[in-house]
Amino acid sequence: MILVDSSVWIDYFRGNTTPAATTLDALLGAEEIAIGDLVLAEVLQGFGTDANAAQAERLLSSLTLVKLGGRDAAIQAAANFRALRRLGVTVRKTVDTMIATGCIRTGHVLLHNDRDFDAFEQHLGLQVLHPPV
C-alpha cells in the first residue's frame, strides 16, 4: 500500500503539476492509497478556509488511515533521527522522522516530494515510490 506524504497532497490540492502529484492523480482510484494521521493533520491545517478544509477532509476520509504516532513509534523515530545524525544527516522536521519511521515499521511505500526522506531511504530502508520524471 502507498502512503502519500503531505508534500504531495499540497501540490495536488494546489494544482501543481509535479511528477509526484501527477503520479498521485494516476493512482487515485487505481491503487489503495493510505494517509497517515500526522499527514492528515499537516494537509488540513494548510487550508485557508474551513470550507476548503472540509472538502479536502471528505476526499481524504475515503483513504485508509495509518496511525504513525504513539509511544513505540516515537521512541523508534528518535533512534532513527540519532542514527542519521551520526551519519552527518540532520532531518529538518520531527514529523518527517515520524512519517518515515511509521512507513518503515508498517512496510508502507512512501510517495513524497521532500528531501528529508532521502536519508531514510538511503540508510534505513524506507521504501519509496519514485515517480517518472
> Can you give the pLDDT at residue 65?
97
**pLDDT averaged per 10 residues, the chain (length 133):** 97 96 95 96 96 96 95 97 97 96 97 96 98 87
What is the pLDDT, as a whole number, of residue 117?
98
- Is residue 59 in a domain? yes
Report yes or no on 6 lying in a domain: yes
Q: What is the pLDDT of residue 133?
A: 78
CATH number (domain holding residue 37):
3.40.50.1010
Q: What is the pLDDT of residue 83?
A: 98
Q: Is 68 inside a domain boundary? A: yes
pLDDT at 5: 98
**Quick check: is 118 in a domain?**
yes
Global pTM reads: 0.94
> Does 130 reside within a domain?
no
Contacts of 78 (CB under 8 A, 6+ apart): 97
Total domains in the fold of the chain: 1
**Sign, CA torsion 38/43/44/47:** positive
User: Are the C-beta atoms of 73 and 105 separated by less than 8 Å?
Assistant: yes
User: Does the residue 39 lie in any domain?
Assistant: yes
Residue span of the structural domain in which 19 resides: 2-124
